[in-house]
Chains A and B, each alone.
Chain A
Amino acid sequence: MKPAYKISLILIVLAVVAGAGAYWYVFLKPHQNLENTKPEFKLSSTQLFNDFTEDETAANARYSGKVVEVSGEVVAVQTGEQGTAIILEDELFGVSVYLDSSFVAANQQLTNQTATGQTITIRGKCDGMLNDVVISRAVIIQ
């Protein structure tokens, strides 16, 4: 084979591999794994709830869509068909945390042990506020 052919063949193979990589990266990229993501904010559930009640627009700009690490007292654990929710601070006006289903599957025991009255730390994505602050795709840190 002539060197020119060889080079172009190599280039074509490289282009295909790069294309496949780019496709995978852009179209099939996985969701962020929060167990290994550094949180942008670390705060208590009281602080987070107060920030949202004081100025929801500002709090949305600050926290919404970001990874937060929140500590607070568990007031309720709700396990439904779709997954597990942990409510911090207050049943209606607190922080509502929805656990990541794959985290729950891998940490069944830890999830089952979570009970009312405990103080826990979770890391998750802040989605905004309804009557409580909503955090999703969460993992239990402590």
Chain B
Amino acid sequence: MKTLVLSIFVILFTTGLFGQEIYFTKTGTIIFDSSTPLETIHAENNQVTSFLKTTNGELNFAALMKSFKFKNALMEEHFNENFIESSKYPKAVFKGQILNWSAINLSKEEAQEANVEGELTLHGVTKKISTKAVLNPQNGKIAGTCDFVVSAEDFEIKIPALVRDKIAKEVKVTVNVLYEPYSK
């Protein structure tokens, strides 16, 4: 934890805290869906923290596994205890980069495509993810959305045989953020 706080401090201070070079949100949303015709499996996390460094397009996401909320309380319990093991691996972290950052114009208030590449750490396993995102600068804020697919197997998440047919192996992940400039 201390290293995380420290690294955020370092990022903030070394990149010029006082310009509008850091955009952040603490209420980003990540939705995942691994529904099958047999069962709707849908969870939403509205407490995702993310930083965007506008000097180079560096991106950071962090989410707590326990903040994923299911409609069904039992499903939420199973997700935390049996699948994602949230006591052992409490958070998911993504560190990446917008590859075509130089082509993105934040003063243009229109949707722009961004190519994102980075490493996602989940359930103790780190995997490379690359996906397309859309950035939409509006009124001094930046809206961002993106979706991609991960497989439970890639992250060594074991699905018991009993429910294997009810849970999709490919999990659809949708990310929604509204960045605000960090200034103090």
Contact = CB atoms under 8 A, between A and B. Distances in A.
A31 to B, nearest CB: 5
Interface stretch (B64-72, B104-112, B123-131, B132-140): B64-72
A128 B69 contact: no
Given A56-B1, A83-B46, A28 B72 contact: yes
Interface stretch (A14-22, A103-111, A115-123, A131-139): A131-139
Interface stretch (B2-10, B156-164, B167-175): B2-10
A80 interface: yes
Contacts of A87: 26
A12 to B, nearest CB: 27
Given A53-B1, A96-B26, A60 B90 contact: yes
Contacts of B46: 80, 82-83, 85, 98
A83 B1 CA distance: 27
A31 B27 contact: no
A131 B178 contact: no
Nearest to A25: B74
Interface string A44-70: 000000001100100010001100000
B87 A85 contact: no
B91 interface: yes
A131 B87 contact: no
B8 A92 contact: yes
Contact of B5 (A53, A85, A127): A53
A6 interface: no
A2 interface: no
B60 to A, nearest CB: 10
A136 B5 contact: no
B97 interface: no
A132 B44 CA distance: 19
B168 to A, nearest CB: 20
B5 A131 contact: yes
B63 interface: yes
A29 B74 contact: yes
Contacts of B178: 80
Of B26, B29, B73, chain A has the most CB atoms within 10 Å of the CB of B26
A64 B1 CA distance: 15
14 contacts: A53-B2, A56-B1, A64-B90, A65-B66, A65-B87, A92-B8, A92-B26, A98-B27, A130-B26, A130-B91, A131-B4, A131-B5, A132-B49, A134-B67
Contact of A29 (B8, B73, B87, B91): B73
Contacts of B87: 60, 64-65
B145 interface: no
Contacts of B182: 92
A85 B74 contact: no
Contact of B64 (A29, A85, A130): A130
